[in-house]
Structure 1
Amino acid sequence: MAETCTHLDTIHDVTPSAQGCEDCLRSGGSWVHLRLCRECGHMGCCDSSPAKHATAHVHSTGHPIVQSAEPGESWFWCYPDELAFELG
């Protein structure tokens, strides 16, 4: 596990792809918490959700960083570095 995220250059200003988990909305599924891909804007559900769409998105695209999309939360998670962090 890294001590600092080595993928900060992949964080972009993005527009969320949906108001909820894009994949759950399409399939009729449900989610617990939402995660926003900071490379492309894909909105996916967390690993506590049945389908774990945020993690599936990371594995299918290689996009390394998600940000919590929950109200009042601002943390990021870098999958390759297995690191949670906040900016600024």
Structure 2
Amino acid sequence: MTLHVKGMKIGAHGGLNGQAPRCDHAGGPMAAVLGAPECAPCLALGLTWTRLLVCVTCGWVACSDDSPGGHAKAHYQETDHPVVASLDPDTTWRWCYAHDRALDS
């Protein structure tokens, strides 16, 4: 679908009635062994993190986007591994960087 806004053509990513497109990245359990519960790049730079996320593709642990380093998103940009999960044991929260949205568990 293409939107026409003030003479510009903008690609729309939504579906009918505002439905988000299906995310094929969400399926399956974590495919890798988790790394250490720390953000190695933050430790090397002397930064602290807000929260830690784990890449469900390879197990890389990195800080969240709201941390000073934003290393989980940087990992996605370098590897194209789209889904991260929270390391918080009380949640099943996952995020898909490819679709820029939270995923149902």
Q: What TM-score, normalized by structure 1, do the two folds share?
A: 0.83
One-letter code of the match for 2:58?
C
Between the aligned residues of both structures, percent identity stands at 37
Residues 41-81 of structure 1: CA distance to partner in whole angstroms, max 9, x if unpaired? 00010111101000000001110000011231211101111
> What is aligned with 2:88?
70
> What is aligned with 1:35?
53
1:5 positional shift: 1.4
More strand as a share of residues: 2
Which one has more relative contact order, counting CA pairs under 8 Å at least 6 apart? 1
> What is aligned with 1:24?
42
Aligned residues: 87
Unaligned runs of 5+ residues in structure 2 are 1-12, 14-19
Residues 1-27 of structure 1: CA distance to partner in whole angstroms, max 9, x if unpaired? 544312235863322221211222233
2:23 is aligned with 1:5: yes
CA RMSD of aligned residues (A): 1.9
1:86 positional shift: 2.7
2:65 is aligned with 1:47: yes
> What is aligned with 1:60?
78
One-letter code of the match for 2:33?
T
One-letter code of the match for 1:54?
A
Unaligned runs of 5+ residues in structure 1 are none
Contact 1:37-1:63 within 8 A present in 2 as well: yes
Name the stretch that deviates more: 43-52 or 25-34. Answer: 25-34
